[in-house]
Amino acid sequence: MGAIAAGFVFSEYFIGHDRFDFWAGALVTSHGDVMDEAHHIPGWIKWLPTGMMALGFLLSVLFYVVKPGIPKSMAATFPGAYKFLLNKWYFDELYDRIFVRPAFWLGRVLWIRGDQKTIDGFGPDGIAASVLAAAKRIRVLQSGYVYHYAFAMLIGIAIVISYFVLTGGGF
């Protein structure tokens, strides 16, 4: 609902002032010729889907109710066609080789090279590694003696006071 409302509100900004002319040819044909032609096709074309449905129904009754041995004998007579049709024209295997396997390969490549090595390497993991390396270098300054910390604070205060004296007291 939000996308529809946003489309109504912001359509002028994306399409322009002539937004009604923009959609005019996309949703309606110029003279309605297509709908008019649909009423003038031959009757046999209109009845063909119903006839095919009835023929399929009658064949299924014949094959599985009246004479259930016909499908088995047809499978034995035409083993190649039976295997081809049983495996759904090998459409799933073809789809797997053309689309699924390349998509898995591309996804794995983008995951390993793009996500793990590039994004994580320079992003969260890279930042964490650099913080860890900096902490290892800085930890040598941590001695645990209070007088070292007091001396470091004294140096910090001296730097701040020197800054204010040299700049005239302002940031």
What's the pLDDT at 119?
83
How far is 138 from 136, CA to CA, in rounded Å? Answer: 6
| CA-only gyration radius of the chain, Å | 39
With beta carbons less than 8 A apart as the criterion, state whether 115 and 108 touch.
no
**What does pTM read for this prediction?**
0.43
27 pLDDT exceeds 70? no
Residue 12 near residue 19 (C-beta atoms within 8 A): yes
CA atoms within 13 A on the CB side of 1: 0
Q: How far lies 96's CA from each of 15, 104, 147, in Å?
A: 40, 10, 71
Q: Which residues, including other chains, have CB under 8 Å from residue 29's CB and lie 6 or more apart?
A: 35
Neighbour count for residue 113 (Cβ, 10 Å) = 12
% of the chain exceeding 90 in pLDDT: 50
Residue 18's pLDDT band (boundaries 50, 70, 90)?
A: confident
